[in-house]
Chains A and B, each alone.
Chain A
Amino acid sequence: MQQQTEENKRKLIVRVCIGTGGLAAGGKEVIAAFKKAINDFCVDIDLDFTCHYQKVGCRGFCARDVLVDVVDGDKSVTYQGIKPDIAKRIVREHLIEGKPVTEWLIDDSYYAFHSKQHKILLKDCGTIDPEDIQAYINVGGYEGIKKILSGMTPDEVINEIKASGIRGRGGAGFPTGVKWDACRKAPGDRKYIVCNADEGDPGAFMDRSVIEGNPHSVIEGMMIAAYAIGSSLGYVYIRAEYPSAVERLKLAIAQAHEIGYLGNRVFGSDFSFDLRIKLGAGAFVCGEETALIASIEGERGMPRAKPPFPVHKGLWGMPTVINNVETLSNIPYIIRNGSAWYASIGTEKSRGTKVFALTGKVKNTGLIEVPMGIRLGEIIYDIGGGIIGNKQFKAVQLGGPSGGCIPHHLLDTPVTYEDIMQTGAIVGSGGMVVLDENDCMVNIAKFFLEFTQAESCGKCVPCRIGTKRLLEILDRFTKGLGKDGDIELLEKLCNDIKVTSLCGLGQTAPNPILSTLKYFREEYEAHIKEKRCPAKVCKDLLTYGILEEFCKGCGACLRACPAKAITGEKKKPHKLDSSICIKCGACFDVCKFKAVGRE
Chain B
Amino acid sequence: MPKLTINGKTVDAPEGATVLEAARMAEIDIPTLCHHPKLTPFGGCRLCIVEIKGIPRPVTSCTTPVSEGMEVTTSSPQIEDLRKTVLELILSDHPNDCMVCERAGDCTLQEMAYTYGIRENKFAGERRVYEKKDGNPFIERDLEKCIMCGRCVKVCREVQGVEAIDFGYRGFKAKICTAYEKDLNCEFCGQCVSVCPTGALTGKMWSLKGRKKDVREVDTTCAYCGTGCNITLHVKGNEVVRVTSREDTLNEGWLCVKGRFGYKFINSPDRLTKPLIRRDGRFEEVSWEEAFDCIANKLTEIKAAFGADAIGGLSSARCTNEENYAFQKMIRAAVGTNNVDHCARL
Which residues on A are within 8 Å of B, measured CB to CB? 283, 285, 300, 302, 304-305, 307, 453-462, 464-469, 472, 489, 492-493, 496, 499-502
Contact = CB atoms under 8 A, between A and B. Distances in A.
B171 A454 contact: yes
Given A465-B89, A465-B90, A458 B148 contact: yes
Given A456-B170, A458-B170, A458-B174, A472 B126 contact: yes
Contact of A458 (B42, B49, B89, B171): B171
Nearest to A300: B167
A500 to B, nearest CB: 5
Given A305-B63, A465-B89, A499 B170 contact: no
Nearest to A468: B172
B125 A460 contact: no
B169 interface: yes
Contacts of A502: 43-44, 46, 60
A492 B88 CA distance: 13
A508 B150 CA distance: 24
Contact of B89 (A305, A456, A469): A469
Contacts of A454: 170-171
Contacts of A300: 166-167
A345 B152 CA distance: 53
B43 A493 contact: no
A289 to B, nearest CB: 16
Q: Interface residues of B: mostly helix, strand, loop or mixed?
A: loop
Contacts of A461: 44-46, 86, 89-90, 147-148
Most buried by A among B57, B89, B148: B89
A499 B82 contact: yes
Contacts of B174: 456-459, 464
Nearest to A475: B125
Closest 5 CB pairs of A and B: A458-B174, A305-B63, A465-B89, A468-B172, A496-B85
17 contacts: A305-B59, A454-B171, A455-B170, A457-B167, A458-B167, A458-B174, A459-B42, A459-B167, A459-B174, A460-B45, A461-B86, A461-B90, A465-B92, A496-B82, A499-B58, A500-B82, A502-B43
Contact of B85 (A304, A457, A460, A500): A500
Contacts of A467: 171-172
Contacts of B173: 458
Interface in B25-65: 41-46, 49, 57-60, 63-65
Contacts of A500: 46, 49, 58, 82, 85-86
Q: Interface residues of A: mostly helix, strand, loop or mixed?
A: helix
Contact of A283 (B58, B125, B170): B170
A307 B19 CA distance: 13
A459 B149 CA distance: 8
Contacts of B150: 459
B140 interface: no
Nearest to A306: B63
Contact of A499 (B57, B93, B169): B57
Contacts of A489: 122
Nearest to A498: B57
B96 to A, nearest CB: 14
B292 interface: no
A501 B89 CA distance: 13
Given A305-B59, A458-B172, A459-B148, 12 more contacts: A302-B167, A454-B170, A455-B171, A456-B171, A459-B43, A459-B150, A461-B46, A496-B81, A496-B82, A496-B85, A499-B82, A502-B44
Nearest to B33: A461
A457 B170 contact: yes
B89 A466 contact: yes
A462 B87 CA distance: 9
Nearest to B94: A465
Given A453-B171, A461-B46, A500-B46, A493 B85 contact: yes
Contacts of B58: 499-500
A502 B65 CA distance: 16
A305 B90 contact: no
Contacts of B93: 465, 468
B317 to A, nearest CB: 39
B116 interface: no
A540 B81 CA distance: 35
B171 A304 contact: no
Nearest to B81: A496
Contacts of B57: 499
A468 B126 contact: yes
Given A305-B60, A462-B86, A500-B58, A468 B44 contact: no
A464 B148 contact: yes
B323 to A, nearest CB: 46
B261 to A, nearest CB: 29
A561 to B, nearest CB: 33
Nearest to B63: A305
A251 to B, nearest CB: 32
Contact of B172 (A462, A464, A492, A501): A464
B123 interface: yes
A489 B44 CA distance: 23
B123 A493 contact: yes
Contacts of B44: 459-461, 502
A462 B85 contact: yes
Contacts of A468: 93, 125-126, 171-172
Contacts of A464: 148, 171-172, 174
A581 to B, nearest CB: 28
Contacts of A302: 167
A454 B171 CA distance: 5
B171 A469 contact: no
A492 B93 CA distance: 19
A93 B326 CA distance: 109
Interface in B74-117: 81-82, 85-86, 89-90, 92-93
A502 B173 CA distance: 18
B198 to A, nearest CB: 13
A235 to B, nearest CB: 23
A458 B43 CA distance: 12
A502 B41 CA distance: 13
A510 to B, nearest CB: 13
Interface string B194-226: 000000000000000000000000000000000
A461 B148 CA distance: 8
A469 B46 contact: no
A456 B175 CA distance: 12
Nearest to B46: A500
Contacts of A460: 43-46
Contacts of B90: 461, 465
Nearest to A496: B85
A144 B248 CA distance: 61
B163 to A, nearest CB: 11
A467 B174 CA distance: 13
Contacts of B172: 453, 456, 458, 464-465, 467-468
B91 to A, nearest CB: 10
Nearest to B78: A499
B82 A472 contact: no
Nearest to B40: A304
A461 B43 CA distance: 10
Contacts of B45: 460-461
A459 B63 CA distance: 14
A533 B330 CA distance: 92
A305 B64 contact: yes
A462 B46 contact: yes
Nearest to B47: A461
A501 B44 CA distance: 9
A468 B125 CA distance: 9
Contacts of B63: 304-305
B26 to A, nearest CB: 22
A302 B170 CA distance: 10
A248 to B, nearest CB: 29
A503 B122 CA distance: 25
A283 B171 CA distance: 11
Most buried by A among B125, B166, B170: B170
